[in-house]
């Protein structure tokens, strides 16, 4: 058993894991701060992680196969941590988060729509003004009614993330379109989109906490609907509409 402390979204957490490669996975998040929570996946947590992978395989019409033990442990750590961080006002979001001029923007969309591609266009267009926070699973922390976005090591297939944070400016729902256009979203329309791309739990008590954080995020950030193609003009249109 390997034990170490990481800091995610400003919260120090003790991690107890069986595989050294998972300590290496967290190398950019190691801290000497005293932990306030502990994450130690059980055999049951590992089995739940594998069951989730089986469901994904089935949903994609692929044969079910057993994942590597270290991968399953990593997945279990991710799920346990996401749930425990809720008590500290931290919510996991599935999206691509970047910082421009010190303000964070998160692009959300169904997988395959192009949120990572669009974030890449921003990096190309705005250069050094951009820093990637996380390209897949950033965290949002609510404190005193304000929202900030934090990087995590779970950063998607392109491995784009930094252990940084920035105040949340906007969440942008991305849709493909031939013509680039952006408009503010009504809160009533934005809320279900936020719910669809945030952490979910089958436990109603936990989901009530999730929904409360989502309501706070709804009040703390601007929301936009972006129709875009994948040209550099798309970055200009979205930037001008948001900033």
Judge whether 91 and 217 are in contact, CB under 8 Å: yes
Whether residue 35 has pLDDT greater than 80: yes
CATH for 147: 3.40.50
- pLDDT for res 158: 77
Closest by CA position to 198, among listed 184, 218, 182: 218
Whether residue 174 has pLDDT greater than 80: yes
| Whether 118 and 210 share a structural domain | yes
- pLDDT for res 76: 97
Quote the percentage of the chain above a pLDDT of 90.
Answer: 89
Whether residue 156 has pLDDT greater than 80: no
Question: What residues make up the domain containing 18?
Answer: 2-88
How far apart CA 93 and CA 200 sit, in angstroms, is: 10
Burial of 159 (0-12, 13-18, 19+ CB in 10 A): exposed
For 178-186, what is the mean pLDDT? 95
| Whether 137 and 188 share a structural domain | yes
Provide the number of structural domains found in the chain. 2
| Whether 95 and 39 share a structural domain | no
Whether residue 208 has pLDDT greater than 90: yes
* C-alpha radius of gyration, the chain, whole number: 18
Judge whether 130 and 182 are in contact, CB under 8 Å: no
How far apart CA 35 and CA 156 sit, in angstroms, is: 26
For 29-52, what is the mean pLDDT? 96
Confidence of residue 93 (pLDDT cuts 50, 70, 90): very high
DSSP codes, 171-201: EEEEEE-SS-EEEEPPHHHHHHHHHHTB---
- The pTM score is 0.94
Instruction: Characterize the bridge pairing of strands 37-39 and 11-17.
Output: parallel
| Whether 42 and 97 share a structural domain | no
- Domain final residue, candidates 66, 88, 110: 88
- pLDDT for res 139: 98
Closest by CA position to 70, among listed 28, 23, 13: 23
- Chain centroid to CA 77: 15
């Amino acid at each position: 058993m390997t034990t170490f402390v990481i800091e995610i979204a400003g919260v120090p957490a003790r991690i107890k894991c069986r595989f050294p490669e998972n300590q290496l996975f967290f190398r950019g998040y190691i801290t000497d701060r005293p932990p306030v929570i502990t994450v130690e996946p059980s055999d049951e947590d590992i089995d739940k992680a594998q069951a989730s992978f089986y469901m994904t395989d089935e949903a994609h019409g692929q044969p079910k196969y057993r994942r590597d033990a270290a991968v399953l442990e990593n997945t279990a750590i991710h799920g346990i941590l996401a749930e425990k961080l809720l008590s500290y006002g931290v919510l996991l979001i599935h999206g691509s988060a970047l910082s421009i001029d010190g303000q964070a923007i998160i692009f959300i969309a169904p997988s395959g729509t192009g949120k990572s591609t669009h974030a890449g266009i921003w990096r190309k267009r705005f250069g050094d003004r951009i820093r990637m926070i996380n390209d897949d699973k950033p965290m949002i922390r609510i404190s005193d009614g304000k929202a900030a976005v934090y990087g995590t090591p779970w950063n998607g297939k392109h491995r784009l993330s930094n252990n940084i944070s920035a105040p949340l400016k906007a969440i942008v729902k991305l849709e493909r379109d031939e013509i680039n256009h952006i408009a503010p979203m009504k809160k009533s329309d934005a809320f279900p989109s936020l719910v669809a791309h945030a952490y979910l739990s089958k436990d109603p008590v936990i989901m009530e906490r999730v929904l409360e954080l989502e309501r706070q995020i709804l009040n703390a950030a601007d929301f936009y609907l972006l129709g875009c193609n994948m040209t550099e003009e798309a970055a200009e249109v979205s930037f001008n509409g948001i900033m």
